Chains A and B, each alone.
Chain A
Amino acid sequence: MDTLTSIDDLTFPGSLGQDRLDGRASDHALLEATRTGDEDAFAELVGRYRNQITNYIYRMTSDYDGAVDLAQETFVRVYRAAERYQTSHAFSTYIYRIATNLAISELRKRKRRRLVSLTGFFQSDDGQEAREFNPPDQKPLQDIELVDWERRSAVQRAISTLPEKYRAPLILRDVEGRSYDEISRILMTSEGTVKSRISRARGFLREKMRAYL
């Protein structure tokens, strides 16, 4: 094992990195300042999380404009509820929980508005929730650049077909890179349930992405 030569060696790859180490205290301090009316503190907080929240909600809803609106709504709710915020939880957990609830509400609204697909529905193996049938893409591979773009689009399409209860933990784990513990606190469910749902979600994705794997 290599010896640590810098504090940067403790960063987590593909995540907030250094910000996460000292960001916890800073996020709380910023929110505390927001309570007293410091708008610059809130602006700083927005600057830290706006891209992550927008990206997370976009991955959940597959709608960029809608994701931006919901991300703004997330920050509005954080602002309004600043006085009720308890520092026992990490701020990231708090804001992601709000974003998750908003995204899931949006997905459910869409489900009520959506027309019934003529391709029919598949029941999931546990029979608890139906998801739309979306056969794996069998088209042959073409140019590499197009393949790369098509592959990413296919991944997003595949994720968008997952039920909400599988979609959220998968995105938080494989896209956002969050730990099981944090995911369980965001989704307010047990770690075992989180692992089970992630495993199931990956199974669904494997079926749909067979041509790309």
Chain B
Amino acid sequence: MKNTSCKTIRQEIDNTNLGQEPDSAIKAHLAHCGLCLEFYETQRKLRGLVGSLEVVSAPPDFDFRLRARLANDRIRPVTGLHLGKWAVRLPSAVAAALILVAGVLIMQNRSRPAAPQEKDRDLPVAGSDVNTQQNGSSSTLKVASNPQKAELPLEATPMAPSKIAKSFAPRKSRSRLATEQSAYVAAPVVRRQDSLASGELPLIFPIQSQYQSLRVSLDDGSGVSRTISLPTLTFGSQRVLARTGAAVPTSTKGSW
């Protein structure tokens, strides 16, 4: 009972405001309870100590710095999303994703075998808009990865430019890249004329010499252009030289 009473009294002492006199019930208890009186005195001193801590003021340039900070926020508006620590990381993640996508596209374009349609065809300069109609009948080269499949084409099969444009059209989430534009000029498809129904798969197949190497012209933006000559991938094929006996030369002028 006594402990309950002391506990209640101490709670009451705790809840009184600093400087406020205790009520008569507390005073009566304190008069005959030494422990509670000691608690009351200790509590009073402690709260006096804590309450006597001097008020720390803001520095004189607080307003100035705050204004500068708010002005800076107006220049670089903060998005409605409170991303917190992710606000710095999100743009970096988006940039990394874009770079990754660009890298994948570059890898795809390089792995696609190129066969030129006509001699000395100029490919679009990087950064310029591409008009698929300029290329006329564009075509694609397909090389089967699985030889058992009867899909080794040897003859050029023209594809509609719209299909090519669609297949190479950048997705909405991707940015325009120079490599995509070069893919508009597709390599010719080489299909086998002979039927493969017999199941015989030649180890080699001829590629007409008129299919010259793919030439890519790049502009570094400062007016300097370079031409890269990419040889046709043969994968076991054999160049069939023309009767003139002259090998198809690959011009090295202006190329790396």
Give A contacts to B, CB under 8 Å.
13-14, 43, 46-47, 50-55, 58-59, 64, 67-68, 71-72, 75-76, 79-80, 151-152, 155-156, 159, 170, 174-175, 177, 180, 195, 198-199, 202, 205-206, 209, 212-213
Q: Which residue in A52, A79, A198 is a CB contact (below 8 Å) of B14?
A: A198
Q: Is the CB of B57 within 8 A of A79?
A: no
Q: Is the CB of B15 within 8 A of A195?
A: yes
Q: Is the CB of B14 within 8 A of A199?
A: yes
Please name all residues of chain B whose beta carbon is closer than 8 Å to the beta carbon of A198 when the two chains form the complex.
14
Give 6 closest A-B pairs by Cβ, nearest first. Answer: A50-B58, A174-B50, A54-B58, A55-B56, A58-B56, A51-B57
Give B contacts to A, CB under 8 Å.
11, 14-15, 18-19, 42-43, 45-47, 49-59, 62-63, 65-67, 69-70, 73, 78
Residue in A68, A159, A170 whose Cβ sees the most chain B Cβ within 10 Å = A68
Question: Considering the chains assembled together, what is the distance between the CA atoms of A118 and B132 in angstroms?
Answer: 73
- Given A202-B14, A213-B42, is A174 in contact with B47 using a C-beta cutoff of 8 Å? yes
Nearest B residue to A195 via CB reads: B15
8 interchain pairs, CB-CB under 8 A? A14-B51, A51-B55, A54-B57, A152-B53, A174-B18, A195-B14, A202-B46, A209-B46
Please name all residues of chain B whose beta carbon is closer than 8 Å to the beta carbon of A59 when the two chains form the complex.
53, 56
Please name all residues of chain B whose beta carbon is closer than 8 Å to the beta carbon of A76 when the two chains form the complex.
66, 69-70, 73
Q: Is the CB of B43 within 8 A of A71?
A: no
Q: Is the CB of A175 within 8 A of B50?
A: yes
Please name all residues of chain A whose beta carbon is closer than 8 Å to the beta carbon of B59 when the two chains form the complex.
68
Q: Is the CB of A50 within 8 A of B62?
A: yes
Q: Is the CB of B57 within 8 A of A55?
A: yes
Q: Is the CB of A213 within 8 A of B69?
A: no
- Given A174-B18, A202-B43, is A68 in contact with B58 using a C-beta cutoff of 8 Å? yes
Q: Is the CB of B55 within 8 A of A46?
A: no
Nearest A residue to B50 via CB reads: A174
Question: Considering the chains assembled together, what is the distance between the CA atoms of A175 and B50 in angstroms?
Answer: 6
Q: Is the CB of A64 within 8 A of B56?
A: yes
Q: Which residue in B11, B18, B50 is a CB contact (below 8 Å) of A199?
A: B11
Question: Considering the chains assembled together, what is the distance between the CA atoms of A182 and B18 in angstroms?
Answer: 16
Question: Considering the chains assembled together, what is the distance between the CA atoms of A212 and B50 in angstroms?
Answer: 12
Please name all residues of chain B whose beta carbon is closer than 8 Å to the beta carbon of A46 when the two chains form the complex.
62-63, 66
Nearest A residue to B43 via CB reads: A202
Question: Considering the chains assembled together, what is the distance between the CA atoms of A151 and B55 in angstroms?
Answer: 15
Question: Considering the chains assembled together, what is the distance between the CA atoms of A209 and B63 in angstroms?
Answer: 37
Please name all residues of chain A whose beta carbon is closer than 8 Å to the beta carbon of B14 when the two chains form the complex.
195, 198-199, 202
Nearest B residue to A154 via CB reads: B49
Q: Other than A76-B70, A80-B73, A152-B52, give 4 A-B pairs with Cβ distance below 8 A.
A: A68-B58, A151-B49, A152-B54, A195-B15
- Given A51-B58, A206-B42, A209-B46, is A155 in contact with B53 using a C-beta cutoff of 8 Å? yes
- Given A14-B51, A79-B70, is A47 in contact with B63 using a C-beta cutoff of 8 Å? yes
